[in-house]
Homo-oligomer: A and B are copies of this chain.
C-alpha cells in the first residue's frame, strides 16, 4: 500500500523474480501509478527500484507484452497499451448487463456448455434441494468490448428451469433467460467473495497468464417469493475487475 522508495521482492520461494515483478508492474498499471506519461519507467530504473538485474526486468516486461498490457519500442521506452478496471456493483438487484452496461460499448454472454446432473451435497444445500435432485449446470463466459471479464458456473433447479440453457444461448443474458422461463424478477440473496489462483482451464478462458488472480463470487438468487432459483460461482480477473458493495 505505502509507496516506498525501494520495492521489495522476495527470492526463491517458488515464485520466480520476473513473475513477481510482472505482477507488481501489472498492479501498478491497474492502479494508474504511471498515468502521467503513459509509459512504464525505463528498465534500468525498474531494475534498481526492485533491486534486481535488468535482464530480470526484461523477462517481466516480455511477459506483460505477451499479455498485451505493454509494448516496448526500441529507443523510446515501454508504453502502456491497456489500463481499465471494470466496476461490478453488488446489490440486492445485481444484474450483469445493467451493472457494467455504461462502462463498455459491447457486452456478450456466451454459453460454453450445459448439462443436466444430480445435485451434489454442496449444491443441494445451497439451493435447498434434496441431494441428487436434478439441476441444470451452465458454464458461461462474459465479454466486455471483446475482452473476457468473467467465467461462471451456474446451477438451476429442474424441472422449473428446463430449457434455460437454450434461452441463455440465444439471449446471452441470465435476466432474459429467466424471463423466457416465466420468471420476470429475481433478487440477490447472498454473495460470498474470495480470491484464488485459477485453474489453468479458467485462465485460458479468461486469456490470463498463470500468475494472475481471480476474484470469486458465490451468489444465490431467489424469486420474489423467496424460492431459490440460481446458485452461481463466478470468476473475475482481479486486475481487470473490481467489485463494489453499496449500502
Interface positions of A (Cβ within 8 A of B):
1-2, 4, 8-10, 13-16, 18-20, 22-24, 27, 63, 85, 87, 90-92, 153, 187-197, 199-203, 209-211, 213-215, 233, 235, 238, 241-247
Count the copies.
2
Within 8 Å CB of A90, what residues of B? 245
B-chain residues with CB within 8 Å of residue A189 when the two chains form the complex = 246-247
Some 15 contacts from A to B, beta carbons below 8 A apart, are: A1-B233, A2-B153, A2-B199, A8-B199, A15-B19, A15-B211, A20-B197, A20-B210, A192-B242, A195-B213, A195-B214, A196-B238, A197-B211, A197-B213, A213-B213
Indicate which residue in B15, B235, B242 contacts A194 across the interface (CB closer than 8 Å): B242
The smallest C-beta distance from A175 to any residue of chain B, in angstroms, reads 16
- Asked if A215 and B190 sit within 8 Å, CB to CB, the answer is no
